[in-house]
Structure formats: structure tokens, C-alpha cells
Amino acid sequence: MNKLSLPQYDLETTLLGGQAFNWDFEDGYFYGFTSTKAIKLKINGEELFWQTYPRKDDLHFLKKYLKLDTDYKKILKKIEKDRYIKSAIKKYPNLRLLNQDFEQTLLSFMISSNNNISSIRKIIRMLNEKFGKSITIDGKKIFLFPRTEVLANAKLDDLLGCKLGFRAKYLKGAAQYILKTELQNKIKKLSESTARNTLKEINGVGDKITDCVLVFSLGFENVTPLDIWGKRFLIQFYKLNPKMKYEEMRAWTQSYFGGYAGWAGQFLYEYIRNL
């Protein structure tokens, strides 16, 4: 395996928390997947041992995915504004944001609608086994996330067999929409507001899913998704009115956290749901 220095990086909370569903920890290693590759990681102190498959030694992908060029100290300085966020950072020092594939992020968070993390992970792995390719690493078979065109052409009954429930038709529809509009190529060129409006044109995609895609995939670091936990920390810690509209709460976070609401939100999300 390759080795690189990885100081100030909480790999476990970052990979296994609520921003990604494509990682497992087994026998001391993190195993991850996209629709085209598998990743094997092992952390030892401040050293990261890593490999990518089937294309070996893809350091460009790893650096981009883990956002290794981030000025972490600058971000912390911007968001450490009160005792709540300071407590969250103290409990989860070195938590990071990921830069994930757009299509996989969108489709995965569509599965998250009215669902918990454990269930989301199980459904995604059922989809992988049913529709994805596989790569064998050290005798371990890793199923990859299904390609968008495969999901677009999947039979609805086969999708329902993966425990998607009402989400099945939305997932298939979103995959078809991505292909029809070539959204993968266009979305990264759009402004935050235009990208948000574009994503919300997809059936089954609302404010929360849109904001997950914006921050976890498209790099809009001043966006934080406001699910039940996000709204809870705003109401409980910052005394926002529970009757505020979603967009009003989002605007408050963007103003308060100095351009890095996505980072602050991830710290506070992990903090409040584990109190």
C-alpha cells in the first residue's frame, strides 16, 4: 500500500458519519466504493496507508476525495464563534468534509429520505450487489455503486426488491433525468442558486437533499443540510424560531458562519446527535 502523511484528519467520523454511506470498517481497514473504483485505507497515527482499484496508485482521486488541500486551520478560525461549535470541535477534532461524486451523492441522498443511516447503508449495498460491478481486494469482494445508466434502465420491481419502497420510482426517475439532461457535465459550472433550482426540478429532491449535494459533492462549503438534526441544533443551541422556513434557517447559517456553514454544520450535526 502507498503511504502519505495525514495530520489533523479524523478518518473514522468523516467516512462513517452522515455525509457518506459508501464506507465500511473491517479488520482495521476502511473499504470504500464509487461506481468506478474501490478504495482501501488504513490509518496509523498521522500516516495513511492507501490503495485504489482497479487503477492503482490514483493519488489525484484520493487527494480530491479527502480534500487534502483544505486550509483546515483557516476554516476553524472562521467558525469557532460560540461555545456550542467550540464544544463540537473539541469532541470531534479534525472532522473533515468529503468531495464525493455528484451522481452517487445525489442518488444516495435520495435514498436517505425518511430513513436512518443504518438503513440507507443497507439499501445501497443491496443496490450494489444487484446492479453494480465488483472488484476483489485481498480475497474480499467489493460491490461498486451502480452506474446511473443501469439504474435508469432498471425494472421498478427490481429496485423495489432492494427495499427502496416509495423511493424506487424517484431514484429511477432521477437517473433518467441525469442522463437526459447530461446533468453531470453541467451542474458543476452553475452558481449555488442555479444549481439548487436545477436539482429541485427532479422529482423527489427537496431542500435537504439539494443542500447535501451542494456541500458534499459540488463544493459549496457555505451550505449545510438542515435535516431533523440540523434544525435541532439551530433551535436548541442558537434559539432560532422553530416556525422559520427552511430557506430562512439556511440564510442564517450562511450569514453567521462566515462562508463555512457546511463545515460548522457537520461538526454540530455529529455533536448533537451523539449528546
pLDDT tens for each residue of 36-47: 999 999 999 999
Instruction: Check residue 91 and give its pLDDT.
Output: 97
Q: Are residues 177 and 230 in the same domain?
A: no
Instruction: Check residue 128 and give its pLDDT.
Output: 98
Asked if pLDDT for residue 147 goes beyond 90, the answer is: yes
Q: Are residues 177 and 62 in the same domain?
A: yes
- What is the distance in angstroms between the CA of the first residue and the CA of the last residue of the chain? 37
Does residue 133 fall inside a structural domain?
yes
CA atoms within 13 A on the CB side of 169: 2
Q: Give the count of beta carbons closer than 10 Å to the beta carbon of residue 1.
A: 11
The proportion of the chain whose per-residue pLDDT surpasses 70, expressed as a percent, equals 100
Position 66 confidence tier, pLDDT thresholds 50, 70, 90:
very high
Alpha-carbon distances, residue 209 vs 5, 93, 158, 246 (angstroms): 33, 26, 24, 12
Does residue 96 fall inside a structural domain?
no
The mean pLDDT value of the chain amounts to: 96
Instruction: Check residue 244 and give its pLDDT.
Output: 97
Q: Are residues 43 and 115 in the same domain?
A: yes
Instruction: Check residue 10 and give its pLDDT.
Output: 94
Q: Is the dihedral of CA 179, 180, 186, 191 positive or negative?
A: negative
Asked if pLDDT for residue 85 goes beyond 90, the answer is: yes
Does residue 77 fall inside a structural domain?
yes
Q: Are residues 150 and 245 in the same domain?
A: no
Residue 157, C-beta contacts closer than 8 angstroms, at least 6 positions apart? none
User: Domain tally for the chain?
Assistant: 2
Q: Are residues 51 and 144 in the same domain?
A: yes
Instruction: Check residue 138 and give its pLDDT.
Output: 87
Q: Are residues 168 and 260 in the same domain?
A: no
- Domain of 30 in residue numbering reads as 2-67+103-216
Mean pLDDT within 143-171: 97
CB 49 within 8 A of CB 3: yes
Q: Are residues 159 and 248 in the same domain?
A: no
Instruction: Check residue 114 and give its pLDDT.
Output: 83
CA atoms within 13 A on the CB side of 131: 26
CA atoms within 13 A on the CB side of 152: 12
Does residue 98 fall inside a structural domain?
no
Does residue 142 fall inside a structural domain?
yes
CB 70 within 8 A of CB 96: yes
Q: Are residues 241 and 126 in the same domain?
A: no
Does residue 6 fall inside a structural domain?
yes
The phi, psi pair for 101, rounded to 5°, reads -60, 135
Does residue 226 fall inside a structural domain?
yes
Q: Can you give the pTM of this predicted structure?
A: 0.95
Domain with residue 16: its CATH number is: 1.10.340.30
177-205: per-residue pLDDT in tens? 999 999 999 999 999 999 999 999 999 99
Does residue 97 fall inside a structural domain?
no
Position 115 confidence tier, pLDDT thresholds 50, 70, 90:
confident
Alpha-carbon 107 to chain mean position: 11
Q: Are residues 19 and 80 in the same domain?
A: no
Q: Quote the CA–CA distance of 64 and 87 in Å, as a whole number.
A: 28
Q: Quote the CA–CA distance of 118 and 55 in Å, as a whole number.
A: 30
Instruction: Check residue 76 and give its pLDDT.
Output: 96
Q: Are residues 143 and 10 in the same domain?
A: yes
Single out the residue in 216, 239, 264 at which a domain terminates: 216
214-227: per-residue pLDDT in tens? 999 999 999 999 99
Range 166-190 burial, b when 16+ CB lie within 10 A, else e: ebbebbbbbbbbbbeeebeeebeee
Position 275 confidence tier, pLDDT thresholds 50, 70, 90:
confident
Q: Are residues 145 and 47 in the same domain?
A: yes
Q: Are residues 174 and 189 in the same domain?
A: yes
Which class for 90: exposed (0-12), middle (13-18), buried (19 or more C-beta within 10 A)? exposed
252-272: per-residue pLDDT in tens? 999 999 899 999 999 999 999
Q: Quote the CA–CA distance of 97 and 116 in Å, as a whole number.
A: 20
Instruction: Check residue 75 and give its pLDDT.
Output: 96
